[in-house]
Amino acid sequence: MQSAIYEQLETLRENNVIALKNAKEAGQNIVGIYCLYAPAELIVAAGASPVVLCGTSQKPIPTAEQSLPRNLCPLIKSSYGFAVTDTCPFFHFADFIVAETTCDGKKKMFELMEEIKPMHLMQLPQIQDKESALAYWVKELEQLKTRLEKTFDVEITEQKLIDAIELLNDERRSLKELQDVCRHKPAPISGMKMLTVLHNRGFALDKRATIQLVDQLTAELTERIEQGISTLATDAPRILLTGVPVGLGSEKVVRIIEEAGGQVVCFESCGAYKKVEPVQQSDDTLRGIAESYLDIPCSCMSPNQGRYQLVSRLAKEFQADGVIDLTWQACHTYNIESFSLRKHVQQQTGLPFLQIETDYSESDSEQLKLRLEAFLELLAGR
């Protein structure tokens, strides 16, 4: 696929490192975020730039293991490793970090990270349908708002919040439309390229420019569909990838699936289809934001019925041939949830289901190849 727009998105991360340095020197405030639960609307409304922090590479993990246990999720180790080795420019330039108590591993790691960088820890409830959980989460948002106002000496007005909601809803719309092009059979873009765009856009400072770029790519891909052009095999088994967050550096499973002739057409994961719904207009703006974020179907929630429903719905809508559930090693919540998700998916869709448990290293690539190839053979034989 030759595309000048894609090439721009492919180099977005590198180019933004320089943009970040320049912006910082020009006085721009930067807030680093790790997780989908970080309410970016508040950060934008405070006039600061929310940037996604590094945590998808194996590289800093050996250093992280000098402080953290080896038997810990690679995403947590990588995030901490980048911080402690000061090799993530986005972490380096951030004024402070917004962190959440999503899982046990993360919250204890954040206690260590706090010694390196100022941090605002949000206490995330673990249930979604209780009024008390929402009230609690609204309070957490209020505290973040106060922290932002104090740190950056600004007032987050109602209008600023409304504008921020509008901007970030537009970003969600644009990312959803991009991912929706893969509903078409055959998909006009590979899963690896889709992941590259989804990953890189999180590092962009200029949200409006990035939305425009993504929209241009979507338009280009839609045109290809209309013209019947596809560089991808029409009979490739279509995979819905669900589970833990994936990004560049931790794309091993996506790469192996596609090298073996499969195609990842949908990512039910953070930074992809896990949150594409807009924040609803509400008389109580902060509560509206809180509600929208609390709905995220992450495995740290209990129960987490929303994820089961989302996965089976997406499997149908994206015409998936099989579902692969990716679990990072020692991620208890996704690992345990896989058992119930398998049952749900098989009952609701009848689709074959494969769970893969791995880390960022290449040490099990050969074994993974065997499993993923066998799974694709199983799909091809149906």
Task: Please report, as a single letter, which amino acid is at residue 308.
Answer: Y
- Do 163 and 214 meet the contact criterion of CB atoms below 8 Å apart? no
Nearer to other proteins, 233 or 374 (CB): 374
Query: DSSP label at 203?
Result: G
Q: How far is the CB of 377 from other proteins (least distance, A)?
A: 5
Q: Is 115 an interacting residue with respect to other proteins (CB under 8 A)? A: no
Q: CA angle, corner 37, sides to 254 and 298, nearest 5?
A: 55
Nearer to other proteins, 183 or 371 (CB): 371
Joined together, the tokens standing for residue 306 give 């929303």
- Do 296 and 245 meet the contact criterion of CB atoms below 8 Å apart? no
Nearer to other proteins, 253 or 289 (CB): 253
Q: Is 231 an interacting residue with respect to other proteins (CB under 8 A)? A: no
Nearer to other proteins, 108 or 255 (CB): 255
Report the site for other proteins in 336-365 (rule: CB under 8 A): 352-353, 364
330 to each of 131, 261, 295, how far by Cα in Å?
31, 29, 24
Q: Is 25 an interacting residue with respect to other proteins (CB under 8 A)? A: no
Element (H, E) at 328: strand 322-328
Nearer to other proteins, 99 or 330 (CB): 330
- Do 328 and 349 meet the contact criterion of CB atoms below 8 Å apart? no
Q: How far is the CB of 350 from other proteins (least distance, A)?
A: 11
Q: How far is the CB of 370 from other proteins (least distance, A)?
A: 6
Q: How far is the CB of 76 from other proteins (least distance, A)?
A: 20
Q: How far is the CB of 352 from other proteins (least distance, A)?
A: 7
Closest alpha carbon to 203 in 8, 10, 7, 17:
17
d(C-alpha 148, C-alpha 160), whole Å: 13
Member of 115, 131, 153, 366 binding other proteins (CB under 8 A): 366
Q: How far is the CB of 344 from other proteins (least distance, A)?
A: 15
Query: DSSP label at 185?
Result: S
Task: Please report, as a single letter, which amino acid is at residue 306.
Answer: G
Stretch that binds other proteins, among 141-149, 227-235, 287-295, 366-374 (CB under 8 A): 366-374
Member of 135, 233, 336, 374 binding other proteins (CB under 8 A): 374
Closest alpha carbon to 208 in 174, 242, 248, 249:
174
Interacting residues of 60 by C-beta distance below 8 A, sequence separation 6+: 78, 80, 81, 82, 84, 85, 87
Q: Is 378 an interacting residue with respect to other proteins (CB under 8 A)? A: yes
Q: How far is the CB of 378 from other proteins (least distance, A)?
A: 5
Member of 108, 173, 185, 371 binding other proteins (CB under 8 A): 371
Q: How far is the CB of 72 from other proteins (least distance, A)?
A: 17
Query: How many residues does this entry show for the chain?
Result: 382
Q: Is 167 an interacting residue with respect to other proteins (CB under 8 A)? A: no
Q: Which residues pair with 325 in a beta bridge?
A: 242, 355
Nearer to other proteins, 21 or 382 (CB): 382
Nearer to other proteins, 166 or 364 (CB): 364
Binding site for other proteins (CB under 8 A): 352-353, 364, 366-367, 370-371, 373-374, 377-378, 381-382
